[in-house]
Structure 1
Amino acid sequence: MANQNSPLRSIFAPVRALFVSDASAGVLLILVAAAAMLAANSPLAGEYRQLFYGDLAWTPIAKLDDLHLWINDGLMAIFFFVVGLEVKRELISGQLADPMKRRLPVLAAAAGMFAPAAVYMLVSGGGQYTSGWAIPAATDIAFAMGVLGLLGNRVPASLRLFLLTVAIVDDIGAVMVIALFYTPTIKLVWLVASVVVVGLMVGLNKMRVSVLWPYLLMAVVLWYCVLNTGVHATIAGVVAALTIPMQRRDGNSMLEKLEHSLAPWSAYLVVPVFGFANAGVSLQGLGIEALLDPLPYAIAAGLVVGKQVGIFSAVWIAVKTGFAQKPDHATWMEIYGVSVLCGIGFTMSLFIGGLAFPGNPLLVDEAKIGILTGSAISAILGYIVLRLTTTHPEEDCDDQGNQPSEA
């Protein structure tokens, strides 16, 4: 009988982890990003660009006249809707509901947004690059949790929860940044219409309406109204999610059940489609001068340096001053490794990058290079740090949890 603790078992452990843990969604994003880069730099580059940026023969909404706009302004509203559901659940019944438990991740997330923005501005020098300050401030939940998934149960559960909570708070900050800083003009009539729709949805909640279809129907109406306000349409997804009741009249879960139903679609369809449509950068059209511009370096530095410095220093100061408690059973090196992983900024960073430089495809492509480079470095470095510094409980027992017998 084969030895359950043979070297082959250890070698293939990361492969098994792809299919039994958080890793699958993150690995899918890696594959999608690679596929997009290959498509954009292959003989199919013309077809790739035409697919997403070519004018549609027919569209029900004139503003969305190509597939790329439908994905970024329409399909991604589902992603933001799931984010909103997750945020509400965490605020009411999750880790963010306890003031003591939310201290550390909220502080870490705030520092993890401020420090990358500061590093970005320092490296880029501002000027025409100023509007990209928020690009390295976001953390990709699926990607970062995917890397942790590759490590199996090496990482303490408290650190997994810490990373997830930081990423959720990070998403809240990113949504606020998009709403406040990437909205050039607002059309008052449509804004008023949006407020009225939100008021009706809140009214449904107050009346304890327990069926989903009125909320979902009005969420679509809200999305259309917000699309025409000038505020990015995906914000409607977050706002609509916050009006969904936590429970039905019979006491059964409503919000959490909806979140669990939509989360796989978001992780395995919406985000990969978005990634494939946005991660493709044609290096042929950039030239060596563009690759040496400050923008890619500033974004990569913000993700790799700013994130880890901001988050780790915030955690260290909070723990040493007694403001918050260190995650249970976690060493400082493990906390550092997770801080590095927070520099993976794939989805939200790509999204903000497209908003930061409207009408300038060269800068958008440069931003993508910085995002992909910084995210890849953070993923690899974070994985190495955690792989070398965490314990190895899965190697101490067999698949049934029994201690191995001595020879």
Structure 2
Amino acid sequence: MNRLSKSFINFFQKEQSTGILLILCTLISLIIANSPVQIFYLELWEIPVRLQFGDFNFFNFHGKPLTFETFINEALMAVFFLSVGLEIKREIYAGELANLKKALLPIMGALGGMIIPAFIYMLFNYGTQTQSGAGIPMATDIAFALGVLSLLGKRVPGALKVFLTALAVIDDFGAIVVIALFYTQDLSVLHLSIALMIWGVLLFLNKVKIYSLIPYLVGGIFMWYFMLNSGVHATISGVLLAFAIPFQKGEKKVNFSKLQHSLHRPVNYIILPLFALANTAIVVNSDIQNIFTQRYSQGIFFGLFLGKPLGIMLFSILACVGKISKLPEGVLWKQMLGVGFLGGIGFTMSIFITLLAFDPISQQYYINHAKFIILTTSLCSAFVGYFYLKKILF
């Protein structure tokens, strides 16, 4: 087994602690949302967020003030996507995705883990008003998945940890592409053009080797604003900014590494917990028993719980049979199946796509129930993956 890099070990440890924190925040939010202070708690997330410069309100979403919840989902999550983008870029330049031969296995696994769940969802929902939710079961929550894997301790082969991490990183990238292509509404060509022009300027600064972070961060703020008003989800600006920031091996990568390190604490210990609290405030009422009979619920459940492991295994086997890649040393197919079940832990990205897939006014019913199914399915996937891996590893 190859020795794990220090940067990978640090990343793995950070993600497992974040996963535990997100679980706690989810439980707290569910309890409070169904407690005597329910109304106060739900209204808390609807408080308007304003930042005035004279008559200009910077946080203005399509002519309407942002609420606290929308501010988290549109603004703070852009910072999360910046962090994700930086991690993807680091993996491509100097991590587990730098070697194409090694990267092809998690790439194929992630591809299957997106295509098969979406296909299963569409089997239940094609031609209905909920077919827009096909992207919901496509995503894996990297923090939760690695958090569960970490509970198994040192018996987990290092190569298996690397595979799951690379798989989840590629999965995140795939989810980002899906969001950009399929969840864009009321497109404003003018605002989108300005945002892309700003990105072009930042890419030019990268090309001429401007390593100071200041112009990139300032440009990123303006790019976010115009992306927010373009109809393309504003969080995409975080990923675009990440790919504009220069990455160089050796001493020149210091600014890139500093930014990535400085984002760790606010993203993992403030932004993601706030996202979990705001988006899992689900009121469990008498009609909750009818959720599992709905097509979109069945599509999400079977897409995540069965589609993920099926897609990851099928495409990984095809990659090995086709000899474009091979299993990492010390890893068995039965262990890969366990990782496939952990891939069914959707949570953050699945909930995020749910908010884009359904209309928050006319389809709030779908959103609340989809969140509940995502939590339920993620819990099932976590339990099955954990106990299956525990049985074969111990």
Q: Do the structures match in fold with TM over 0.5? A: yes
User: Which residue pairs with 1:394 in the alignment?
Assistant: none
User: Which residue pairs with 2:221 in the alignment?
Assistant: 220
SS of the equivalent of 1:43 reads coil
Aligned with residue 387 of structure 1, among 387, 390, 393: 390
In structure 2, C-alpha distance between the alignment counterparts of 1:249 and 1:125, rounded to whole Å:
50
User: Which residue pairs with 1:103 in the alignment?
Assistant: 104
Aligned with residue 45 of structure 2, among 21, 43, 52: 52
SS of the equivalent of 1:53 reads coil
Superposed displacement of residue 317, structure 1 = 2.7
Structure 1 counterpart of 2:378, one-letter code: S
Paired residues for 1:196-275 under 5 Å: 196-247=197-248, 251-275=252-276
SS of the equivalent of 1:97 reads coil
Report the TM-score, using the length of structure 1 for normalisation: 0.87
User: Which residue pairs with 2:370 in the alignment?
Assistant: 367
User: Which residue pairs with 1:7 in the alignment?
Assistant: none
Superposed displacement of residue 249, structure 1 = 9.8
1:124/1:295 contact within 8 Å kept:
yes
Paired residues for 1:6-405 under 5 Å: 22-56=15-49, 60=57, 61-63=59-61, 64-124=65-125, 126-247=127-248, 251-284=252-285, 286-290=287-291, 292-358=293-359, 359=361, 360-391=363-394
User: Which residue pairs with 2:7 in the alignment?
Assistant: none
Superposed displacement of residue 20, structure 1 = 6.8
1:120/1:302 contact within 8 Å kept:
yes
Structure 1: segments with no counterpart, 5+ residues: 1-18, 392-407
Report the TM-score, using the length of structure 2 for normalisation: 0.90
In structure 2, C-alpha distance between the alignment counterparts of 1:151 and 1:48, rounded to whole Å:
36
Superposed displacement of residue 316, structure 1 = 2.2
Structure 2 counterpart of 1:34, one-letter code: L
Distance 1:21 1:235, change over 3 A: closer
* Stretch of structure 1 that moved more, 284-293 or 173-182: 284-293
Q: Larger Rg: 1 or 2?
A: 1
In structure 2, C-alpha distance between the alignment counterparts of 1:273 and 1:285, rounded to whole Å:
27
Distance 1:57 1:178, change over 3 A: closer
Structure 2: segments with no counterpart, 5+ residues: 1-11
**Equivalent pairs, count:** 373
In structure 2, C-alpha distance between the alignment counterparts of 1:346 and 1:58, rounded to whole Å:
30
Structure 2 counterpart of 1:378, one-letter code: S
1:158/1:329 contact within 8 Å kept:
yes
Q: CA RMSD in A?
A: 2.0
Structure 2 counterpart of 1:330, one-letter code: V
| Identical pairs, percent | 40
Deviations 1:127-178 (A, max 9, x none): 0110000100000010101011111111111011100111111111101100
